[in-house]
A = this chain, B = another copy of it.
Amino acid sequence: MYRKVSRICLASEPNITHFLQVSWEKALGSGFVIMLTDGHSAWTGTVSESEISQEADDIAMEKEKYVDELRKALVSGAGAADMYKFIFSKESGHFSFDKELKDVSFRLGSVTLDKVANTAEVIRELIGYCLDTISENEAKNEHLLKENERLLRDWSDVQGRFEKCVSSKEALETDLYKRFILVLNEKKAKIRSLHKLLSEVQELEKNAECGR
């Protein structure tokens, strides 16, 4: 069950905010229920899937595109004021909505709404739904904040370990080279001493040869 409540202004009462509630089961295109209220009275009506298909045919629009237009007009909320005109007659209950383009407007859809007998109950249910949605969003918000903090801690932890790894890699390289140089220089010193000894022995041998 999906539901969306948005503010609209009626062409006949532009200074009074009205609220439009649209609710549907799986998909908007499968039909939906409209509820309109001014905070004092409420009217409700249903638009069936066949009526949606018929309307789409009548205005020569692909059904999917038409449902998308319905979504923008009745469900999206933001921007509806600029692009859509809502007309409602309390006497007849006729509710219609037009899409307004540059210099032209065309009828997007219409439905007859019946006045609700127990308006107070409908308004209570609407306010209750809003409060529940607020609570759910606050809980989601809380959860996301905690997730956010956890992710930040995790990132900070890995970043620290990465920095340590970079430092320790540099330190390892330096350390190994230093140790290697010490051991290598020992070998070089040995080679030098062997060379010296060899030269001395060869010199001695040469002198002995000369003496003989």
Q: Say yes or no: B141 contacts A137, CB within 8 Å.
A: yes
Check A38 for interface membership: any CB of B closer than 8 A. Answer: yes
Check A155 for interface membership: any CB of B closer than 8 A. Answer: yes
Other CB < 8 Å A-B pairs besides A39-B119, A197-B198, A208-B208, 7 of them? A19-B124, A40-B120, A130-B133, A151-B152, A169-B172, A187-B191, A201-B205
Q: Say yes or no: B166 contacts A120, CB within 8 Å.
A: no
Check A59 for interface membership: any CB of B closer than 8 A. Answer: no
Interface members, chain A 148-183 (any B CB < 8 Å):
148, 151-152, 154-155, 158-159, 161-162, 165-166, 168-169, 172-173, 176-177, 180, 183
**What residues of B have a CB within 8 angstroms of the CB of A147 in the complex?**
144, 148
**What residues of B have a CB within 8 angstroms of the CB of A126 in the complex?**
127
Interface members, chain A 104-133 (any B CB < 8 Å):
119-124, 126-128, 130-131, 133
Determine the residue in chain B with the shortest Cβ distance to A136. B137
Check A54 for interface membership: any CB of B closer than 8 A. Answer: no
Nearest-CB distance from A151 to chain B (Å)? 4
Check A212 for interface membership: any CB of B closer than 8 A. Answer: yes
Nearest-CB distance from A198 to chain B (Å)? 5
Q: Say yes or no: A127 contacts B124, CB within 8 Å.
A: no
**What residues of B have a CB within 8 angstroms of the CB of A165 in the complex?**
162, 165-166, 169
Nearest-CB distance from A77 to chain B (Å)? 8
Of the candidates A77, A133, A134, A176, the one having the most CB atoms from chain B within 10 angstroms of its own CB is A134
Nearest-CB distance from A7 to chain B (Å)? 6
Chain A to chain B contacts (Cβ below 8 Å), 14 pairs: A5-B131, A6-B131, A16-B124, A19-B127, A40-B119, A140-B141, A141-B141, A155-B158, A173-B176, A176-B177, A180-B180, A183-B184, A187-B188, A212-B212
